[in-house]
Amino acid sequence: MLPVGCLRAALRLSRAMSVLSLEPRPAGKRWLVVGLGNPGLPGTRHSVGMAVLGHLARRLGVEDTWARDRHCAADLAVGLLEDAQVVLLRSRRLMNASGRSVSRAAELFGLAAEEVYLVHDELDKPLGKLALKLGGSSRGHKGVRSCISCLNSRVSLPLRPALGLVGQHGAACTVHQSSLGPPLAPPQAMPRLRIGIGRPTHPDTVQAHVLGSFSAAEQELLPLLLERATDMLLDHIRARSQQPPLGPDLSELLPP
């Protein structure tokens, strides 16, 4: 148990962080990054989104500042990327109900769906394959489905051909751009970073595969995977933060 003095200092820090975090910010200067996973099950393939979030917290220098937020039923940390605020969220709810935590945080921080980055595992991509996509269906992922439903995010957008992007850190990735049409309404579609975990050969073993831990051989690949995923997020957020407020064509917000 922490000494009383430490508890009081932690409480003051938490209150100060809350005031700073909830200050109004211009559009494009605050982002929410959500790492999907099951609480209490770190190291599993289904919780790889949380692993990426932890690595991102270390890169932003906020790995020791996680604070529990009862309103969101989640752990939050707040970092800065140049002049943009990046709020990190790992839900304390089970995966299938994580959207409730995400929508509550988006409401508290005054964010729309397109300002929420969702990081999650993807069965239909091999381990090590990353893709950043705007919107799209849940493809059977119940955690993603919960977030889409709770945020009322668009799930079907016409996609343009994928664009190759190499960020500042040299991390190659694939970014799918979407044509959102005339600016009649804001584009309510979440950017999603999909982390490939590979699909097993036999359908009967899918659940065990998803909820199982990475093998020893796979764990050797994880450090580089987490680094590349973090680079991709930072590069993409930085590029969007440096551009004018979100418009109908997100291709204008990406580096050439």
Q: Which two tokens stand for residue 172?
A: 């190659």
Strand ordering across the sheet containing 172-176: 67-69, 74-81, 84-91, 30-35, 116-122, 191-196, 130-134, 172-176, 163-166
- Residue 164: strand pairing partners: 174
Catalytic residue among 46, 120, 141, 176: 46
Handedness of CA 254, 172, 80, 4 (dihedral sign): positive
Q: Which residues contact 136 (CB under 8 A, 6 or more apart)?
A: 155, 156, 157, 176, 192
- Is 46 one of the annotated active-site residues of the chain? yes
Residues marked as catalytic:
46
